[in-house]
Amino acid sequence: MMKIIPILITSVLILSGFGVIGAGYGLESNTTCKTIKLTVSPLEINDENDKYVEINLENSNSYLMKPGKPMLPKIVKTFELDFGVKNIKVELLPKNIRVYKIKKEVFPSPALLPLTNIKMTASKVVKDKTIYQNDLAYPSCWFEYHTGCGLSKKGDKRVTHVVVDFYPVRYFPAMGKLLVAENAEIKISWDKPDRKPLPENSEYDLVIIAPNAFANELQRLVDHKNNHGIKTFLKTTEEIYKEYGGADKPERIKYFIKDAIETWGVKYVLLVGGLKNTIWAKPRDDANQGSRDWYIPVRYSNIYDNPKYPLDESTIHDPGVISDLYYADIYKTGGGFEDWDPNGDGIYFAWNKPGVENDTGIDLYPDIYLGRLACRSVKEVKTVVDKIINYESKPCDPSWFKKMIVFSGDGFLDQMDLNIQWDTKPLPDGKYTIYAQSLNPKGETGPMDIINITLDRSKETTISFNHDDHLRIHSFPGPPIAEIVSISEGDILGDTDYTYTPSEKEAYCNSFNPWANISYIDGILTIRGKSYDPKPYGNVSSIHVWVTDENGDVVFSDWRNNTEMYYEGEWTTGEKPLFGRGGA
């Protein structure tokens, strides 16, 4: 259990949005200035283990996390300014700075972190010695900020976003000191736009972009939308390619969307057209785009990823992906066109691509509502149009609009290492039965996992890996599941030591966290396995492991309470947030 040491008690006051309006600071009349005052939540230092401490802010789950570098809390403040503002400047003045001495190093950030407790990953974290042996403060500054243009939080207009990352705790590793700001003042100034770059009234709400081959079927959808009060028109790709310039076809379409926003006040864009054929069609023409075999072309990013874990292989993974966000991200800060190629080298959205400069500072905020119907034929267009018209022409149960189905996955098996130690040395040879049963916080218990083994010191130890909990899961939701993997039915604990590390195919993520390793050393069997609660948001369960002899007497018993295992996809797409992330 972590030891929590309260360090500082202050009142919590965070002014959301804009706070006190500044006096102007002697700037020109075209310049606007605002001030935001905030108070930092109380600081806590948690004893992580015998090497590290974990630094937290009360009621805060945001952290500065860079692999191998100290994991420190941060406060993220977001602000919305008018669209088209320029010369944005942000200042942050830390106040009431206090110094704290710590005896242990601050816990380093893991390379990849599943949605689970940090303690589970500590054994695999490698600290960055260039930081931990340095006399300088980390981070090197109190704050950072970035800006971008996009739809407002309410989604009703285009704004300029300002995001400030405030680091109230700075760490001097070589000196073992923390510099903590109890308060801070943020000052933001900007120049108003010279003109209103966007029309105040909309001539059209929706534009549908499609090839001429789909025009006849889509005209029915255009008429339907107009009859329902959504001012809509159709623009074919053939017309766009003739009327607009650009580096390639995706950029021509993007320039048209920009023109549609600024000329007609369009709010929504519907792209209709996918890959022409899933067998013979070539999806990617070059590094940046696919056009030839697409009814509506696609933009490819050039993001290369070769993670150390869990894809620990020699080949490069994810060398760019399709992203229709490209068509929605029209503007960058100041209202200029966002082309996704800020360094102008002709490679769009490049990151970690061998021999190519990274594209930094891309906006990535959508400026328009955009979707795609990836139809591959006129027949598919007709089917989709019929369904849309029928659905929107008939009344339906209004409760449907508050429900959605999300298909997701589980990126990590974040089972903590149960590490239950059964010392067999005091026991006589004979037959023994190992039991395991899990229960959830509601007190519901699941089926027992029962394994019969033999303790026979006249024989060589024989232990095999056992992973069969799928045989006890018959439905979802279901009862809590206990699973012992480190010994199997009929195994023998003999006079020899035995260890075995299952492969990733046998025990997923075992190399990340050794939850499944087999160990029988000096008469001590380490009982390992899983405990989980297969129901929505069933992330906590407790497991009871006990052993009986041939007479049914209990010779060993141990518990692991409140173990956590998260189905990450549920928490990132469902209604509940976790660690400040996810949640619908």
For residue 313, pLDDT beyond 70: no
Span 443-459, mean pLDDT?
Answer: 96
Give the C-alpha separation, 313 to 488, whole Å.
31
Give the C-alpha separation, 566 to 410, whole Å.
8
For residue 578, pLDDT beyond 70: no
Q: Which two tokens stand for residue 434?
A: 């190992």
Give the C-alpha separation, 186 to 88, whole Å.
13
Q: pLDDT at position 472, please? A: 82
Q: Which two tokens stand for residue 232?
A: 């809509």
Q: Which of 9-18, 97-106, 328-337, 429-438 has the lowest mean pLDDT?
A: 9-18
Higher pLDDT, 5 or 460: 460
Span 225-245, mean pLDDT?
Answer: 98
For residue 63, pLDDT beyond 50: yes
Give the C-alpha separation, 86 to 573, whole Å.
35
For residue 303, pLDDT beyond 70: yes
Torsion of CA 64, 67, 68, 73, to 10 degrees: 10
Give the C-alpha separation, 160 to 155, whole Å.
13
Higher pLDDT, 419 or 46: 419
What are residue 154's DSSP bridge partners? Answer: none
pLDDT above 90: percentage of residues in the chain: 70
Q: pLDDT at position 536, please? A: 84
3-class state of residue 295 by DSSP: coil
For residue 115, pLDDT beyond 50: no
pLDDT band of 119, cuts 50, 70, 90: very low
Q: pLDDT at position 512, please? A: 75
**Mind giving me the DSSP string for 247-278?**
SSHHHHHHHHHHHHHHHH---EEEEE--BS-S
Q: pLDDT at position 410, please? A: 62
Q: pLDDT at position 307, please? A: 58
Give the C-alpha separation, 54 to 134, whole Å.
19
Smallest CA-to-CA distance from 296 within 376, 228, 412, 207 is with 376
Protein fold of 206-394:
Rossmann fold (3.40.50)
pLDDT tens by residue, 130-164: 999 999 999 999 999 999 999 999 999 999 999 99
Q: pLDDT at position 579, please? A: 59
For residue 123, pLDDT beyond 60: no
Tell me if 121 sits within 8 A of 513, measured CB to CB: yes
Q: pLDDT at position 25, please? A: 35
DSSP assignment, residue 322?
Answer: B
For residue 268, pLDDT beyond 80: yes
Domain ranges of the chain: 3-191, 206-394, 420-565
Half-sphere exposure of 284 (CA within 13 A, CB side): 12
Span 289-298, mean pLDDT?
Answer: 98
Tell me if 550 sits within 8 A of 456, measured CB to CB: no
Q: pLDDT at position 46, please? A: 85
Q: pLDDT at position 407, please? A: 72
Tell me if 263 sits within 8 A of 255, measured CB to CB: no
What are residue 564's DSSP bridge partners? Answer: 540
Q: Which two tokens stand for residue 50?
A: 């015998």
3-class state of residue 190 by DSSP: strand
Smallest CA-to-CA distance from 461 within 527, 519, 417 is with 519
Smallest CA-to-CA distance from 412 within 506, 509, 312 is with 509
The counts of H helices and E strands in the chain are 7, 32
Give the type of residue at 510: N
**Class for domain 3-191, per CATH?**
mainly beta
Smallest CA-to-CA distance from 389 within 148, 227, 214 is with 227
**Mind giving me the DSSP string for 369-383?**
EEEEE---SHHHHHH
Give the C-alpha separation, 456 to 429, whole Å.
5
Q: pLDDT at position 274, please? A: 98
* Cα–chain center distance at 505: 25
- The neighbour count for residue 528, using CB atoms within 10 Å, is 24
For residue 114, pLDDT beyond 50: no
**Size of the chain, expressed as the number of residues it contains:** 584
- The neighbour count for residue 206, using CB atoms within 10 Å, is 21
pLDDT tens by residue, 345-379: 999 999 989 899 999 999 999 999 999 999 999 99
Higher pLDDT, 386 or 116: 386
Tell me if 207 sits within 8 A of 232, measured CB to CB: yes
For residue 23, pLDDT beyond 80: no
Tell me if 75 sits within 8 A of 201, measured CB to CB: no
Q: pLDDT at position 315, please? A: 56
Give the C-alpha separation, 184 to 141, whole Å.
13
Q: Which of 118-132, 170-184, 492-506 has the lowest mean pLDDT?
A: 118-132
Q: Is 242 exposed, middle or buried (0-12, 13-18, 19+ CB in 10 A)?
A: exposed
Q: Which two tokens stand for residue 93?
A: 């003045």
Cis peptide before 477 (omega within 30 of 0): yes
Give the C-alpha separation, 291 to 282, whole Å.
9
Strands (DSSP E) found in 320-416 = 350-351, 369-373
Mean of per-residue pLDDT scores for the chain: 88
Q: Which two tokens stand for residue 47?
A: 């004893």
Give the C-alpha separation, 88 to 162, whole Å.
9
pTM attached to this predicted model:
0.70
For residue 253, pLDDT beyond 80: yes
